[in-house]
A and B are shown apart, each in its own frame.
Chain A
Amino acid sequence: MSETTEQTGRLIGEPGGGPGPGTGVADILRHWAGVFVRQREATIFVVAVALLLYFGLSNASSFISQANAINLFSEIAAPIIIIAIGEVLLLICGEIDLSAGFIYTFAPFMMFFMNEYYGVPAWLSIVIAILFGLVAGFVNGFITVALGVPSFITTLGTGFILAGLALVLSHAEPHPIPPATMTIGKYIGTDGWSQIIWAVILVAIFHVVLTRTRWGLYTISTGGNALGAREAGINTGRIKYGNFMITGVLSALVGVQVAFYTNTIDPLAGGYTPMFYAVTAAVIGGTAMLGGSGTILGAFLGAIALATLLDGFDVQGINANSVQIVFGAAILIAMVANVQLARVRERGRTL
């Protein structure tokens, strides 16, 4: 019994455990292939790399350039990645935030009003803009947890309200970036690479939070078995509040970043599209819509795959209308591959 314990332990829990019993090259390869397939991020990793290779090889001159890399990773992928971190945490604990894209819309206006109208120092107005996300997340949490409205409806409502507020308060006009905030803005989003650097750092942090802290364990427990989690003494309401607030802060950060990057505060920026891309990235990255499981790394790779498709079609000059058809098909193919491979994984685990 102890021998089987050791083996399964190594295969599932500790991929770094070294090659299996065989010593031939084929055995070692097969062992590592097994380790790889058992990782939940394996499928989406293959998909993302394959897409990058495909567009890299077929459109080498225009796809492989610094300008396109910034466009793909920073401009397209980073906002999806950062919002997806929040959506993964929410989906795992059994909720969703449809208002994320509107928190994104509104946050930079908060910065503008604070600095331009109320004379709040630049750094503080940026902090307030991001804390606005925290408050919006708290409101989403309150309506969902304390008042018992399903989060799909809660955030549909708060999303509309934020979209309307942004339009009313801005008179539906884009606003300029307050000059005083430009110095700090460079580190937040103005510089070409800054968004993807933020995204990678946040992915690293939240990957650890999800897999190595109590917060992550309780988030999985809340979505996996809500009654069981409460019986074990977990305050599931607090976990949900917290994850709504994390999502709010991350969405507000993305809003401020995009404003600096595009050098304008646009009341029509954000909206449903980045939120749906983020949820798509989470789901094709292996996060269950029904709660209880998901990975931040998977969502990161999912966002890279989505961004590669979006950018790649653009580079190839494919008509924007037909891109949607390919895009939808790509999502379905990725999902089917994911679900089927998960079955193979489950079989490998129980046999």
Chain B
Amino acid sequence: MTSQPEQPAAAAAAGDVLRVEHVSKRFGPVTALTDINLRLARGEVLGLLGDNGAGKSTLIKIICGFQQPDSGRLIVDGQEVVLKSVDQARALGIDVVYQDLALINQLSVYHNMFLKREKLRGPLLNNRAMRDTARSYLSDMGINIPSVNVPVASLSGGQRQAIAIARTVYSSDAKILLLDEPLAAMGAKEAAIILDLVRDLKQRGDVSVIMIAHNYGQALEIADRINLLQHGEITLDKPSSETSVAELNDIVVAEYRRALEERQRQTQRPA
């Protein structure tokens, strides 16, 4: 993967499909996001990294309309939007794969793939069409599933993840795709399938992706640009080519060290 450092910079002004400005979010006494500023260029893959509890998933849920920010603005295609629901965001071309996958165990693979995007014949579900389309999507992706008729409860973690991703990538015409830890439950082979899929999307050029990842290596391999989220703020914003696993590790190790020192100070004080 070769990404030119000047590309994101050039796209900054006019080409941004999404800008997040001064967004904050609290849950009771817990501040999840303090002041988030983030931009996503057209056709770009942005890797969003950060520690557990840094607020990555909250940020994703705000961008996809599932939760509303306490303050700040979302600008989609140059227009400020106030997202009240997932449906509204989807209508604007924003779609999401949640970390918990949002699959319904009791429903079949194909019903899950078309949940909230059903194919209908009159008032009735067109199961045959959904079954056939689901089959062809999954074989396009190279995902092996015994049958699209089985309930997703009977599938492995990686297969479930693949289905959640396939339904968002194929059965919607999203311009902005949010992937919350898409590689979490996957083995190396399955992860390669998903990374390939994101690469394909990048080649198409009309889809922009924000991908949360834990594995810095994978993130650097696929993303054009890396943002690091620490205690509710973006603390690093660099093209992938200008940073490295070592640099990102150092930042996180430094943070752990600070946290450890803080703790030691606190435990020593009473003694």
Contact = CB atoms under 8 A, between A and B. Distances in A.
Contacts of B120: 214
A1 interface: yes
B111 A217 contact: yes
A321 interface: no
Contacts of B135: 5
Interface string B211-241: 0000000000000000000000000000000
Interface in B61-94: 66, 85-87, 90
Most chain B CB within a 10 A radius of its CB, from A224, A233, A350: A233
A233 B86 contact: yes
B105 A8 contact: no
Contact of A220 (B103, B104, B124, B146): B104
Given A4-B147, A8-B147, A217 B105 contact: no
Interface in A123-144: none
Contacts of B125: 212-214, 217
Given A213-B124, A221-B107, A233-B86, A9 B149 contact: yes
Given A8-B147, A13-B149, A229-B104, A234 B116 contact: yes
Contacts of A233: 85-87, 90, 116
- Say whether chain A's binding surface is mostly helix, strand, loop, or mixed: helix
A293 B106 CA distance: 7
A292 interface: yes
Interface string A225-267: 1011111111000000000000000000000000000000000
Contacts of B136: none
Contact of A349 (B107, B118, B154): B154
B86 A231 contact: yes
A232 B86 contact: yes
B252 interface: no
- Say whether chain B's binding surface is mostly helix, strand, loop, or mixed: loop
Interface residues of A, number: 28
Given A8-B146, A208-B124, A217 B98 contact: no
A87 B29 CA distance: 40
A183 B94 CA distance: 57
Interface string A5-46: 100110011000000000000000000000000000000000
Most chain B CB within a 10 A radius of its CB, from A208, A220, A221, A293: A221
Contacts of A232: 86, 102, 104, 115-116
Determine the interface band of chain B, counting residues with CB < 8 A from chain A: 20 to 34
B100 to A, nearest CB: 7
Contacts of A9: 147-149
A4 B146 contact: yes
A221 B112 CA distance: 9
Contacts of A349: 150, 154
A9 B127 CA distance: 13
Interface string A309-351: 0000000000000000000000000000000000000000110
A10 to B, nearest CB: 9
Nearest to A211: B125
B149 A12 contact: yes
Nearest to B111: A217
Contacts of B103: 225, 228
A228 B118 contact: no
B144 interface: yes
Contacts of A228: 98, 100-104
Contacts of B124: 208, 212-213
Contacts of B123: 213
What 3 A-B pairs are tightest by C-beta distance, nearest first?
A233-B86, A231-B102, A13-B149
Interface of A: 1, 4-5, 8-9, 12-13, 208, 212-214, 217, 220-221, 224-225, 227-234, 292-293, 349-350
18 contacts: A4-B146, A4-B147, A212-B125, A213-B124, A217-B107, A224-B104, A224-B107, A228-B98, A228-B101, A228-B104, A230-B86, A231-B66, A231-B96, A232-B104, A232-B116, A233-B85, A349-B154, A350-B154
